[in-house]
Chains A and B, each alone.
Chain A
Amino acid sequence: MTVSSATRATHSRVHRDLARAISSVENGYAALPAALAQIDEPLERAATSAYVVGVTGPPGAGKSTLVDRLIESFRANGETVAVIAVDPSSPFTGGAVLGDRVRMQRHAGDAGVFIRSMASRESGGGLAPSTHQAIALAERAGFDVVIVETVGVGQIELEIVGVADVVVVLTVPALGDGVQSIKAGLTEIADIFIVNMADRPGANRTATELLQMVRESRRPIPVLQTTASEGAGLPAVMDALAAARAGGISNAVRALRFDVLREVRDAAARRALAALDGETARSLFAQLEARTITRAEARERLLPLVSNEVIRAD
């Protein structure tokens, strides 16, 4: 798609402002409201809000390649796209190699596409600590679609549910145990299942197994097959995404529940940890180490102490 030079200049400025706003929340220089104000002249968007698409699945399943195809398809519809791609940080050095862009580089010259990599830093839920804010900023910048790619997930990295309007879960054929591993959590968060690398043996079988799992769940979840590297199967994926966007599937309520629950749980955990570092708790630990009380006794005294701290009103 071609854009005029004036449009190009606008996009270029929005890209720069958005990038800097994301950095300021990521590095803690600014809270979200101040960062939102950094984007003073956003792109025009017809809809009131952006369509947030989450893409998750095990490492090597083809998430970045699929996202590359989704960018292509949304652009063909004339929509602007922002991508937030999360890669893991080393827990030892804090460093990270952010390589998701490699698969999307053909869009690097397109003024209607913004791609930002984020390191997961200290977060363990498949997203980075400030991914929520980055999505809000991309929405503020006026992008029609925001695609969020998580780090390769295992069983418990389900944070994506709290941020996306629709969650696409990717798997590959003949992982066997892979299907096992996505059973526990990912069936509960998926709105669309995709068996990628469908040109490989075992794709139909994997899809059938997923369909059986879907039947046991309470929601109708489409199970699609793609070969993202070739672009095969993309029209069906776009149809499913359009259906979800039109309200066929709404993740908003689930996302909000998850988001609030997580916030409350995190706050409770912080208070509990503080109580466990307190003087009373430390003296109990000392007695336990000196074997003057049993573990059961220590537990019986700690539990009300910490619980009271968690529910205490400020």
Chain B
Amino acid sequence: MPTKVLVAKPGLDGHDRGAKIVARALRDAGMEVVYTGLHQTPEMIVNAAIQEDVDVIGISILSGAHMTIFPKVMKLLAERDVDDIVVVGGGVIQEGDVPKLKAAGVRAIFDAEATTQDLIDGIERVVSEFGRTARRAKAASAT
């Protein structure tokens, strides 16, 4: 089954050229990509991810708000009893923040030098490692 990805642009970032390039690259790699537009709040991102039942949430942040947004998204997912959606991120994120974000549960961070192929490979890797598809298929066949 195609991997389903939500590409999200939170907060005040005013442009989404990068997010659209990412969406296109993931589509060309055979993924189903949900794009929700600019200025999303963490609540909107989590609601959309749950309704769309995506495998992965990919959040693009250029504004420097990553230490606020990512933990908020993780917290909302936990509050909604959703523990099987993988969260990854990209944008302008200082090296020193990466370990903190990983500790908060973000599975991969892509910096500005990452190529679209790096993104595709990285997403496929975290999905096969942490994703729920295999888990859920197994649960369905057990019942």
Contact = CB atoms under 8 A, between A and B. Distances in A.
Interface stretch (B38-46, B88-96, B106-114): B38-46
Given A20-B53, A96-B27, A101 B34 contact: yes
Interface in A85-102: 89-90, 93-99, 101-102
A98 B51 contact: no
Contact of B136 (A15, A22, A24, A115): A24
A29 B32 contact: no
B103 interface: no
A93 B80 contact: no
Contacts of B53: 19-20, 22-23, 116
B29 A93 contact: yes
Q: Which 3 pairs across A and B sit closest by C-beta, in order of nearness?
A: A95-B27, A29-B140, A19-B53
A307 B43 CA distance: 57
Interface residues of A, number: 33
A4 interface: no
B23 interface: yes
Given A95-B33, A119-B2, A16 B50 contact: yes
A102 B1 contact: no
B75 interface: no
Given A29-B137, A95-B27, A95-B30, A16 B81 contact: yes
Contacts of B31: 95
A105 B6 CA distance: 13
Contact of A98 (B33, B50, B137, B140): B33
Contacts of A13: 81
B37 A102 contact: yes
Interface of A: 12-13, 15-16, 19-20, 22-24, 27-30, 34, 89-90, 93-99, 101-102, 105, 108-109, 114-117, 119
A117 B44 contact: no
B63 interface: no
Interface residues of B, number: 35
B69 interface: no
Interface in B61-116: 80-82
A207 B87 CA distance: 48
Q: Which of A22, A89, A117 has the most CB of B within 10 A?
A: A117
A99 B17 CA distance: 15
Contacts of B26: 95
B40 A105 contact: yes
Contacts of A114: 51
Q: Which of B1, B40, B81, B141 has the most CB of A within 10 A?
A: B1
A231 to B, nearest CB: 19
B129 interface: no
A13 B81 CA distance: 9
Contacts of B2: 94-96, 119
Interface in B111-138: 133, 136-137
9 contacts: A12-B80, A27-B1, A28-B1, A34-B140, A34-B143, A96-B32, A105-B36, A109-B44, A116-B52
Contacts of B81: 13, 16
A108 B27 CA distance: 23
B51 A96 contact: no
